Amino acid sequence: MRALFFRDLALALRAGGGFGLGLAFFLIVVVLVPFSVGPQSALLTQIAPGVLWLGALLACLLSLDRLLAVDWEDGALDLLATSPLPLEGIVAVKAAAHWVTTGLPLVLAAPVLGVLLNLAPSGYGVLVLSLALGTPALSMIGAFGAALTVGIKRGGLLLSLLVLPLYVPTLIFGAEAARRAAEGLDSGTPLLLLAGITLAVLAAMPFAAGAVLRVNLR
Amino acid sequence: MSLWEYANPVKFLRLSERVQPWLWWGSGVCLVVGLIWGFFFTPDDFRQGSTVKIIYLHVPSALMAINAWFMMLVASLIWIVRRHHVSALAARAAAPVGIVMTLIALFTGAIWGQPMWGTWWAWDPRLTSFLILFLFYLGYVALWEAIEDPDTAADLTSILCLVGTVFAVLSRYAVLFWNQGLHQGASLSLDKEENVADVFYFPLLVCIAGFVLLFLALVLYRTGTEIRVRRTRALMARETRGAGLRAEEA
Amino acid sequence: MPDLGKYAEAVLSAYAVSIVLLVAIVVLTVWRGRKVRAEMEAVERRSGRNG
């Protein structure tokens, strides 16, 4: 299991694995926002938490279609399926690797991009915390979506259509927590709810994703 | 004699053909009577004016939009547990009907909202949840369309339906939380059931019955269609295999 | 025709949109059903003759 995790990490870090692409995408989205809504700093301050969350979510989505497809195409997935590891474990490990290579850099980059968007000083801590709590759920839900569409050629668009509605609760609670903190309000409740969703997703989603993968490998 | 007998496609088709005329006629009569009753013979509401007449379309379609998803959930569960093909096909058949119901609910709601709330669209929890439900329907149908092998498609879509249900319910509550956070207590949605008087209530019931019957008729008909598609495909596969064998013999 | 007052447009367009959508789904359903049924019968007749 650990070997698989490090293998996935190594593959992602090697050139062409798409590492850093999500980060660059996040940066570009954030840079484009002032161009589209105007440079007034008061307005940017107001929308900063939501934009940062949305940008992180889209950047996370961007690399999902490679999550399982690479191993599917070269047959590594079939080999993994015949290994003693349960498929649920494999999916969970792959989601974890995805989070380390995509989610974690986004979490770390968010405060820097927050400066660009004139985020209120009180918002930084909770923004990072909410992203740290929420992005694992994004990766795990995304792994489920990737498992659903792994057998479909050009499934990328379908993947977004399937996954984005599933992101709604995470996005709502995450962005709400960051927004409340930026406005100086108490953000404990949305953070707790966000953590609850993430834990539930991490606990239950590997089984759904494993079941889906088993169907696809049949 | 058990319900599961109708998992056999032939038996299902025979029963559904026998029931369908009743459903079609029943839904037609109910819809015509209910809508005409509602449109021509009910008074205007003193606050909403004549827009109250939209209720006869809005409430039944919203009801069916949710119930259609629920029916898909039950059918998906039956497919996962007992692997009856008719069940999976019924879930597939129901989804486009659910989409249409959701669309009707959204459109009539927007048209009603324009004069009443002064806006076509507000990010009210109910409206937002419906929009999310619509997205779930779209994803579900798109997944069915994208996969070639029918059994794989049935498996994947039914799992998606289960997961989607959990997340749809979750979104419903998340949205409630989110909007309360935005405007404290200033809820736009009037609770419709409470202030509906009898004059509006009875035609509404007839309309709801009409929508339910129409949904059942459509789903039965569409399930029959899906069964025939499946059979045609099987026959054609057998044909090509037969042709291949003959070619080998020759 | 009842007097719909100033909201006539809203009420009528709501009814129009809904009825169009309902008719559309019914027509599409029946049209596809007919087509599929004809196809199946054609294939059945063919395989009946050959097999």
Please tell me if residue B119 touches chain C, with a CB cutoff of 8 Å.
no
Give contacts of C 6-45 with B, CB under 8 A.
6-8, 10-11, 13-15, 17-18, 21-22, 24-26, 29-30, 32-33, 36-37, 39-40, 43-44
Q: What is the pLDDT, as a whole number, of residue C24?
A: 93
**For B43, which DSSP code?**
P
- Spatial CA neighbour of A139 closest among A201, A79, A187: A201
Q: Which residues of A touch B167 (CB under 8 A)?
A: 165-166, 168-169
CB contact under 8 A, A151 and B175: no
Q: What is the pLDDT, as a whole number, of residue A154?
A: 76
CB contact under 8 A, A165 and B132: yes
Among B114, B225, B239, beta carbon nearest to C32: B225
Min distance A74 CA to chain B CA atoms (Å) = 20
Among A173, A180, A216, beta carbon nearest to B174: A173
Q: What is the pLDDT, as a whole number, of residue A97?
A: 87
Q: What is the pLDDT, as a whole number, of residue A131?
A: 92
Q: What is the pLDDT, as a whole number, of residue B192?
A: 46
Low-confidence residues of chain B: pLDDT under 50: 181-194
Among B156, B160, B170, beta carbon nearest to A169: B170
CB contact under 8 A, C14 and B97: no
Q: What is the pLDDT, as a whole number, of residue B82?
A: 86
Q: What is the pLDDT, as a whole number, of residue B188?
A: 38
CB contact under 8 A, B114 and C10: yes
Q: What is the pLDDT, as a whole number, of residue B136?
A: 93
What dihedral angle (degrees, nearest 10) is formed by the CA atoms of B186, B189, B190, B191?
-110
Give contacts of A 143-182 with B, CB under 8 A.
144, 148-149, 151-152, 155, 158, 161-162, 164-166, 168-169, 172-173, 176, 180
Q: What is the pLDDT, as a whole number, of residue A102?
A: 86
Q: What is the pLDDT, as a whole number, of residue C4?
A: 66
Distance separating alpha carbons of residues B75 and B89, to the nearest angstrom = 9
Which residue shows structure tokens 């989610």? A103
Which residue shows structure tokens 């129901």? B94
Chain C: residue nearest B238 by CA? C47
CB contact under 8 A, B132 and A168: yes
pTM: 0.87
pLDDT digits (tens, 9 = 90+) for C1-42: 566 667 777 888 888 889 999 999 999 999 999 999 998 888
Min distance B145 CA to chain A CA atoms (Å) = 10
Q: Estimate the crossing angle of helix B125-146 against helix A156-166, to 10 degrees.
A: 150
pLDDT string in tens for chain A (218-residue length): 777 777 777 777 665 556 678 888 889 988 898 898 888 888 888 888 889 999 999 988 888 887 887 788 787 888 888 888 888 888 898 899 888 888 888 898 888 888 888 888 888 888 999 999 999 999 999 999 999 988 887 778 889 999 999 999 999 899 888 888 888 888 888 899 999 999 999 999 999 999 998 888 87
Quote the ipTM score.
0.85
pLDDT digits (tens, 9 = 90+) for B67-121: 999 999 999 999 989 888 888 999 999 999 999 999 999 988 888 877 777 777 7
Among A151, A152, A208, beta carbon nearest to B159: A208
Q: Tell me the residues of B at the A interface, defined by beta carbons under 8 Å apart.
A: 132, 135-136, 138-139, 142-143, 146-147, 152, 155-156, 159-160, 162-164, 167-168, 170-171, 174-175, 177-178, 181
Distance separating alpha carbons of residues B200 and B53, to the nearest angstrom = 8
CB contact under 8 A, A215 and B156: yes
DSSP string, chain A: -HHHHHHHHHHHHSTTS-TTHHHHHHHHHHHHHHHHH-S-HHHHHHHHHHHHHHHHHHHHHHTTHHHHHHHHHTTHHHHHHHSSS-HHHHHHHHHHHHIIIIIHHHHHHHHHHHHHTT--GGGHHHHHHHHHHHHHHHHHHHHHHHHHHTTSTT-HHHHHHHHHHHTHHHHHHHHHHHHHHHTT---HHHHHHHHHHHHHHHHHHHHHHHHHHHHHH-
**For A111, which DSSP code?**
H
CB contact under 8 A, B156 and A216: yes
Q: What is the pLDDT, as a whole number, of residue C26?
A: 92
Among B152, B156, B167, beta carbon nearest to A166: B167
Q: What is the pLDDT, as a whole number, of residue A105?
A: 87
* Percent of chain C residues topping a pLDDT of 90: 31
Domain boundaries, chain B: 10-238
